[in-house]
Structure 1
Amino acid sequence: MVTLDKDLASIQEVRDLLNAAKTAQQTLATMSQEQINKICEAMAQAAYDNREKLAKMANEETGFGIWQDKVVKNSFASKFVWDYIKDMKTVGILKEDNEKKIIDVAVPVGVIAGLIPSTNPTSTVIYKALIALKAGNGIVFSPHPNALNAILETIKIISVAAESAGCPKGAIGCMMKPTMQGTAELMKHQDTSLILATGGSAMVKAAYSSGTPAIGVGPGNGPAYIEKSADIPLAVKRILDSKTFDNGTICASEQSIIAETSNKTAVVAELKRQGAYFLSTEESAKLEKYIMRANGSMNPQIVGKSVQAIAQLTGLTVPASARVLIAEETRVGHKVPYSREKLAPILAFYTVDNWEEACELSMEILYQEGAGHTMMIHSQDDRIIRAFGLKKPVSRVLVNTPGALGGIGATTNMAPALTLGCGAVGGSSTSDNISPENLFNVRRIAYGVRELEELRETPAPYTETASINEDLLVDTLVERILAKLQ
């Protein structure tokens, strides 16, 4: 008996999954909007009904986050997302413009490759499967190995529900033998039409380098500016609500706080009152060594861990009531860990003299890491808010709201999504919160409205009575005078 090498077995598995998904997708493409909606509603309901079970599985398997918060994520990815997209037209004729004589028709992209991170495994599967099938596509998942069981259980639950509602078998597939070679095959295969990449920078870069159209999400590194007109207690509450939600595993969560000299004392006092622990210089240096690995990537040992777990890992002694760890910082750079993305309850704290300095500092932080993603501002001054919105190199400027929940559209009216485009500045193909509308193409049926003879018509010749631009007249007279002088 011949045993296939692990990598070869993974590659073959991907090919089989893609073949099944392609066949199923061809059936999906013939379905009506009503049939597609019935399938998606069944998936969303099944995921919602199992939100607690899946949250606990993800937490136990990965060790990341807080299971109660993962319940909220699963609820968001199923019920909240479905409520937003259920009336969206994604199949057949989208609209008709009788005046311009153009008809828009939705065309599914085909089979989507869904790359799933370990930080938000079950919720990301639910969300990506929902938006993919809503647009008439099949999807094949590449799961993070550290969350494989939770991901497979999620797919089993939504697949059974989808098929019971009329979905063709194979439309939702998942690698059970995930390897880098298998994932590379999934991304490069001719039957993969689009990649939805959520994860580390290396994986997103690989998606864009695959030769297959991709929607990828780079790292978040959002600063939160507390401007002097802000309601400080409420601003601090929102920041801590966000940074402690699932222990900071959402990439839109705050990574640093910027305060002004005029309100620093009040901001620091409020942070401490609400459970922030400010590290001493020695403690800050001690923790700093654990934030990044030698190769410059985030240390997975701190990702999604509580303050107490991080303290135990690093040898720090912090109060049992501490919710976040804060280090005062003045530097920004690749080798300055506090100025970078930290998917854990750790924040940098910067002080500036005014909003103009805050503007420049936030851009320096973002251009160093997190460009195109998200930043937050807490202010009552619309002039300053608009100035930030016009200048910042991000796709989302969140005003007076928690970053993690505002960025994904839970506490704002943006499209609810767990894949957040970063735009060209962030190396992404779109700046949108990804929805089904990003997962179909539009075929336009356009009727002719002009004949060639009409295009060949030339403007009426100049006459004495025609109106003349005064500048043009002066130029013409000067040219005539110069010609006579020559």
Structure 2
Amino acid sequence: MSVQAQRHRQSSGIDATPASSSTSLANESASPERIVAAVVARARAAQREYARADQATVDAAVAAAAWAIMAPARNRQLAERAVADTGLGNVDDKFRKNHRKTLGLLRDLHGLKTVGVINVDAASGITEIARPVGVVAAITPSTNPAATPANKIINALKGGNAVIVAPSPKGQGACELLLSFIHAELAKVGVPADLVQMLPAPVSKATTSELMRQADLVVATGSQANVRMAYTSGTPAFGVGAGNVASIIDASAALDDAAAKIARSKTFDNATSCSSENSVVILDAVYSAMLAALAAHGGVLLTAGEKAQLQDVMWQGGKLSGRVTGQDARRIAELAGLERVSALQPTMLLVEEDGVGADFPFSGEKLSPVLTVYRARDFAAAMARVEQIYDYMGAGHSVSLHSADAGQALQLGLQLPVARVIVNQAHCLATGGNFDNGLPFSLSMGCGTWGGNNFSENLGWRQYINITRIATPIAEQVPSEAALLGDYFARYGK
């Protein structure tokens, strides 16, 4: 019996109790296996019904889930709830993120065929048929407790699947609110509400792990602990790598434009995105001018003493403190007792650094508007510095470049361990897709084998479907040895 068949059989062994009883199961101290199996059983029943839907119904379900978060009044409620519950980021930016990321995803999915035959290639004799993966376990972080679940739900529905969200404990309230909005919209379409569920409260490591085990596919965004748990769950999984984006500022860059884009990116939602710049590597020739440009956009360069004070507050016991995560620059300065800096009302805190690794914590991811500044004698040295940074943290994710030299972007793509090279853009807005670049909209970026992932794309609808291929006979075309090996024979002999 296949693993998937075993999961279907196991989950169907428990009655599909009404959705409202999931919380009571948790409150009755039921085992994690039983709690999750009840949710999965309902998801399987709903998905079997949904799998018979035509493309128009699937697209209506997708639109329903999207409008559930995009409707302005609901979006505002979700943004406010997210900040109130998690203490991370700010309401206005979360509102913008919820709208922009969902609108962009709708753009990417618009008109795509994901039901039945999706491609016929007469030349190869191959016909491709889209098939659902089944029940998706969507593991989501506290940094985006509405936008990330919505993105995964929409992609899952587009593929004909059911989805069960495992939110972070802090993001549980926002996720519950989102699902209430989605269920109201799905009712208009006439598809089962149980297509979209979440783990019952309180969400725990045990129930999250059990969901991963019982689902057909895991898509994990958030902590590396959750990603590792997904990869070892025994279920096919897509997980993302750690962020720690570095940005190279070349001598040819338009400095004020670069500074404006870095400031916009670094301050967006208080730098809670894994795509926010954590370091800038500035070439000697423009070092002072670029610091001045960053200062013009609210960046305040700390003295050595102020840097030491900030480090003591940001890292305790070798770990990044939750006190500073997702807070604005002025609040962080106040927490560190930096009265001079706080009085300047900074948008970013700049710290100069000359080392990389555990002994230099500012070289890692900071999840706050604190930007580490490195100096490099030339572009080759800048690349070498970024490679050092990624060898410590952030390999595979992406690198930012501000330059007028197109050849430098190619060099980065050929030499650095990155899946994306973002050129002359606000990095955190561009990496996950934007309306002025061709990357697909996503809140989950694959980092390839460099980042311990099995994919290097932006997580999207293709990861949420299986494809069945029908192969029919075509005219036989057998190549000769000479056609394929002639060059080899000529150079090296037989």
Same fold (TM over 0.5): yes
Specify the alignment match of 1:237 in structure 2: 260
> 1:7: Cα distance to partner?
6.3
Question: Which residue type is aligned with residue 217 of structure 1?
Answer: V
Q: Partners of 2:357 and 2:125 in 1: how far apart?
A: 54
> 1:471: Cα distance to partner?
7.0
Deviation per residue, 1:309-330 (Å, 9 max, x gap): 1122221221342100010000
Alpha-carbon contact 1:327-1:348 (below 8 Å) kept: yes
Deviation per residue, 1:25-48 (Å, 9 max, x gap): 112211111110011112212211
More divergent stretch after superposition (312-321 vs 229-238): 312-321
Name which of 145, 164, 167 aligns with 1:143: 167
Name which of 214, 226, 229 aligns with 2:249: 226
Q: 1:214 to 1:105 in 2, by over 3 A?
A: same
Specify the alignment match of 2:364 in structure 1: 340
Q: Partners of 2:81 and 2:125 in 1: how far apart?
A: 53
Q: Partners of 2:353 and 2:335 in 1: how far apart?
A: 22
Q: Secondary structure at the match of 1:414?
A: coil
Identical-residue share of aligned pairs (%): 32
Q: Indicate yes or no: 2:443 matched with 1:404.
A: no
Specify the alignment match of 2:296 in structure 1: 273
> 1:3: Cα distance to partner?
9.2
Specify the alignment match of 1:484 in structure 2: none
CA RMSD of superposed structures (Å): 2.4
Q: Partners of 2:28 and 2:173 in 1: how far apart?
A: 18
> 1:77: Cα distance to partner?
3.2
Specify the alignment match of 1:311 in structure 2: 333
Residue correspondence of structure 1 range 448-467 to structure 2 within 5 A: 448-449=473-474
In our comparison, the structure showing a higher alpha carbon Rg is 1
Specify the alignment match of 1:430 in structure 2: 455
Q: Indicate yes or no: 2:108 matched with 1:84.
A: yes
Deviation per residue, 1:23-74 (Å, 9 max, x gap): 1111221111111001111221221112111111101111111100000111
Deviation per residue, 1:110-139 (Å, 9 max, x gap): 111011111111111111110110111110
> 1:293: Cα distance to partner?
3.7
Specify the alignment match of 1:172 in structure 2: 196
Q: Indicate yes or no: 2:24 matched with 1:24.
A: no
Name which of 405, 413, 430 aligns with 2:438: 413
Alpha-carbon contact 1:227-1:259 (below 8 Å) kept: yes
Q: Secondary structure at the match of 1:170?
A: helix
> 1:271: Cα distance to partner?
1.1
Alpha-carbon contact 2:86-2:170 (below 8 Å) kept: yes
Q: Indicate yes or no: 2:200 matched with 1:216.
A: no
> 1:231: Cα distance to partner?
0.1
Deviation per residue, 1:456-486 (Å, 9 max, x gap): x9989xxxxx9x967788x8xxxxxxxxxxx
Q: Partners of 1:233 and 1:152 in 2: how far apart?
A: 42
Specify the alignment match of 1:369 in structure 2: 393
Which blocks of at least 5 consecutive residues in structure 2 are unaligned?
Answer: 1-23
Residue correspondence of structure 1 range 31-110 to structure 2 within 5 A: 31-49=53-71, 50-110=74-134
Q: Secondary structure at the match of 1:244?
A: helix
Alpha-carbon contact 2:241-2:447 (below 8 Å) kept: yes
Q: Partners of 1:34 and 1:4 in 2: how far apart?
A: 37
> 1:8: Cα distance to partner?
3.7
Alpha-carbon contact 1:406-1:412 (below 8 Å) kept: yes
Q: Indicate yes or no: 2:217 matched with 1:194.
A: yes
Name which of 228, 235, 254 aligns with 1:205: 228
> 1:157: Cα distance to partner?
0.5
Question: Which residue type is aligned with residue 195 of structure 1?
Answer: V
Name which of 207, 211, 234 aligns with 1:182: 207
Specify the alignment match of 2:10 in structure 1: none
Question: Which residue type is aligned with residue 441 of structure 1?
Answer: N
Q: 1:250 to 1:207 in 2, by over 3 A?
A: same
Q: Partners of 1:470 and 1:29 in 2: how far apart?
A: 56
Question: Which residue type is aligned with residue 358 of structure 1?
Answer: A
Specify the alignment match of 2:355 in structure 1: 331
Question: Which residue type is aligned with residue 183 of structure 1?
Answer: T
Q: Partners of 1:359 and 1:92 in 2: how far apart?
A: 47
Q: 1:376 to 1:102 in 2, by over 3 A?
A: same
Alpha-carbon contact 1:77-1:126 (below 8 Å) kept: no
Alpha-carbon contact 2:241-2:452 (below 8 Å) kept: yes
Q: Partners of 1:392 and 1:355 in 2: how far apart?
A: 13
Question: Which residue type is aligned with residue 162 of structure 1?
Answer: L
Deviation per residue, 1:264-295 (Å, 9 max, x gap): 0100111111110111101101111233342x
Q: 1:36 to 1:5 in 2, by over 3 A?
A: closer
Question: Which residue type is aligned with residue 126 of structure 1?
Answer: A
Q: Partners of 2:52 and 2:345 in 1: how far apart?
A: 57
Q: Which runs of 4+ in 1 moved over 4 A?
A: 2-7, 457-460, 468-473
TM-score normalised by structure 2 residue count: 0.89
Question: Which residue type is aligned with residue 313 of structure 2?
Answer: Y
Alpha-carbon contact 2:26-2:200 (below 8 Å) kept: no
Specify the alignment match of 2:6 in structure 1: none
Q: Secondary structure at the match of 1:105?
A: strand
Q: 1:447 to 1:301 in 2, by over 3 A?
A: same
> 1:5: Cα distance to partner?
7.4
Alpha-carbon contact 1:7-1:179 (below 8 Å) kept: no
Q: Secondary structure at the match of 1:56?
A: helix
Q: 1:337 to 1:458 in 2, by over 3 A?
A: closer
